[in-house]
Amino acid sequence: MNSVAIIGAGITGLTAGFRLAQKKIPVTLYEASDRVGGVIQSVRRNGFLAEFGPNTLLETSPKIRALIRDAGLEPHVLVSAESAKNRYLVRNRRPIAMPGSLAGFLRTPLFSPGAKLRLFAEPFIRRWHNRREENLGEFVLRRLGREFLDYAIDPLVAGIYAGDPFRLSVQHAFPKIYALEQRYGSLIRGQILGARERKRRAEVSKQDAPKLSFDHGLQVLPETLGARIEHSVQLRARVISIRRQERLWTLAIETPQGAETRPHSAVLFAGPAYQLAELALDQQPPINLSYFNQIYYPPVTSVVLGFRRADVAHPLDGFGMLIPKVEGFSILGTLFSSSLFPNRAPEGHVTLTSYVGGVRNPLLALKSFDEILALTYKDLRSILGITGSPTFHHSIRYPRAIPQYEVGYGRFKAAMDQLENDAPGFFVAGHCRNGISMGDSLISGYDVADRIEAFLRPDATAATAAG
């Protein structure tokens, strides 16, 4: 058996490679950059720790803990502080803690009495008829009303997708919410009954899932996975084209040493959709991958700032704050990074991670770093009561950050299904197909390794399933 080619050494490709190696299936990971991990990168400087991409790993599935255990990382795991359960929403230009109970909801100033009463009517609203695909904004207006859209769902969407609720598909961007209405006819009724089913599957909702990191940041996970299969990873190796001949796949690769070709038994693409669109795939029937370039990735800039604790009036006793569009600020939201995990800031200091741009304001993410820093500092000073200047600063821009699962996204998923059907042995996994969070990408890598094994060892896997 030739090795399985994995294109992209982000968390999806690394997880798949690690799992296949566990199954004694040889792999070769091709990574165009000079490091593994993709957007997952941590930098420590002057006692501060800044995350380039995601800040937490949500433990929504037993597969996540299994991977951590198998990689030997359990002693290095950090679980977010108990106080970090608080989440803030900004209303009237000040952060207000989101209620954690029915009594708290009835007392919160986040929503008007009318909006609260409107919520109690939700179980009696009919499910969507599905004559056309509904966007999230329409869905929330229909079931919960305008105030919940403006002050709960819009900031949530900005925090998850950096997206626009009137562009995102309920069915594809929030499939579990869509399924609750379709199955139970109500979000509230579905949340109660659905919790029992998740418990039987040993799954946890993202809202309730433990938030994890590692002692030296999230980068510890991809670095460790890469080290476990070190001899299978090729850095600075860009895959230019792929050719299929009978049951063999031949990859043309560009490296610092020059161009070369390699034969493989199967191929996994685990990168962003716009890179899939750039691949030349030579096989019969012909397949044009440029279609996937239509998936929209808006720009996002992450700004990590450190301050003296005495210069921040807010207690920072929570996960962070989300900011509705109607509040008129530049930033989408801010994580209280040093409140989440220890050793994210030196003694007497705090670390705050803010995001700007996205679908809400893409041009803002493309401004100079100095301009973005000034706008971010202005917003934080107003909302959190900051009086001093930053003692630490780190910014990173992603010109194409997060795939938007917009209305009609099902056509891209169907195209990926068709691609795998027309090109047996070619697989696609990752955030453009299986969900955008770090946990989603990890589980995607975990699951696609099983699919690849079934393709390469159909008799063995069938016997295992039968047994």
> Domain 4-39+220-295+405-466 sits in which CATH superfamily?
FAD/NAD(P)-binding domain (3.50.50.60)
Share of residues in the chain with pLDDT > 70 (%): 96
CA distance 13 to 138: 36
Using CA atoms, how far apart are residues 172 and 430, in angstroms rounded to an integer? 14
Task: Name the CATH architecture for the domain at 45-52+70-83+298-398.
Answer: Alpha-Beta Complex (3.90)
pLDDT in tens, 154-190: 999 999 999 999 999 999 999 989 988 888 888 888 7
With tokens 């950096």, the residue in question is 162
- Token reading at 180: 């609750």
How far is residue 422 from each of residues 287, 360, 399, 415, measured CA to CA in Å? 8, 38, 32, 10
Residue 414: count of CB within 10 angstroms of its CB: 10
Other C-beta atoms lying within 10 Å of the C-beta of residue 400: 15
Closest by alpha carbon to 15, among 279, 250, 268? 268
Query: Amino acid identity of 57?
Result: L
Span 438-452, pLDDT tens digits? 999 999 999 999 999
Rounded to an integer, the average pLDDT of 345-370 is 97
Pairing type for strands 320-322 and 87-91 reads parallel
Instruction: Output DSSP code: residue 406.
Output: B
Q: Residue 91 above 60 pLDDT?
A: yes
The pLDDT assigned to 464 comes to: 55
pTM above 0.85, yes or no: yes
Q: How far apart are CA 418 and CA 420, in angstroms?
A: 5
Q: Which residues have C-beta within 8 Å of that of residue 449, sequence separation ≥ 6?
A: 15, 16, 19, 20, 23
Measured distance CA(444)–CA(56) in Å, rounded: 17
CB 341 within 8 A of CB 81: yes
Q: Report long-range pairs for 376-382 (Cβ below 8 Å, ≥24 apart).
A: 376/303, 376/305, 376/330, 376/331, 377/305, 378/330, 379/323, 379/329, 379/330, 379/331, 379/354, 380/305, 380/331, 380/334, 380/352, 380/354, 382/93, 382/329
Q: Where are the alpha helices (DSSP H) in 385-437?
A: 410-422
Q: How confident is the model over 203-253, as pLDDT tens digits?
A: 666 777 889 999 999 999 999 999 999 999 999 999 999 999 888 999 999
DSSP one-letter code for 154: H
Cα–Cα distance between 82 and 69 in angstroms, integer? Answer: 23
Q: Which of 450, 53, 52 is nearest to 266 (CA)?
A: 450
Mean pLDDT of 336-354: 96
Residue 112 CB neighbours (<10 A):
11
* Lookup result for tokens 């990971």: 29
Distance CA 73, CA 464 (A): 29
Tokens of 105: 């909801």
Q: How far is the C-alpha of 174 from the C-alpha of 436, rounded, in Å?
A: 11
Average pLDDT of the chain, as a whole number: 93
Q: Which residues contact 98 (CB under 8 A, 6 or more apart)?
A: 86, 87, 88, 89, 108, 110
Percent of the chain with pLDDT over 90: 82
Q: Between residues 283 and 361, which one has the greater pLDDT?
A: 361
Q: Is the peptide bond before 285 cis (omega within 30 degrees of 0)?
A: yes
Residue 380: closest CA among 353, 357, 361: 353
Residue 355: which of 177, 174, 161, 142 has the closest Cα? 161
Structure tokens at 454: 């079934």
Average confidence (pLDDT) over 405-416:
96
**Structural domain spans, the chain:** 4-39+220-295+405-466, 45-52+70-83+298-398, 111-200
- The whole-number pLDDT of residue 127 equals 86
- Range list of β-strands (E), 159-299: 211-214, 233-235, 238-245, 248-255, 258-264, 266-269, 280-282
Does the domain at 111-200 match CATH 3.40.630.10? Answer given as no
φ/ψ region of 122 (left if φ > 0, alpha if ψ in -120 to 50, else beta) reads alpha
Give the Cα separation of 432 and 275 in Å (integer).
Answer: 11
* pLDDT confidence tier of residue 109, bands split at 50, 70 and 90: very high
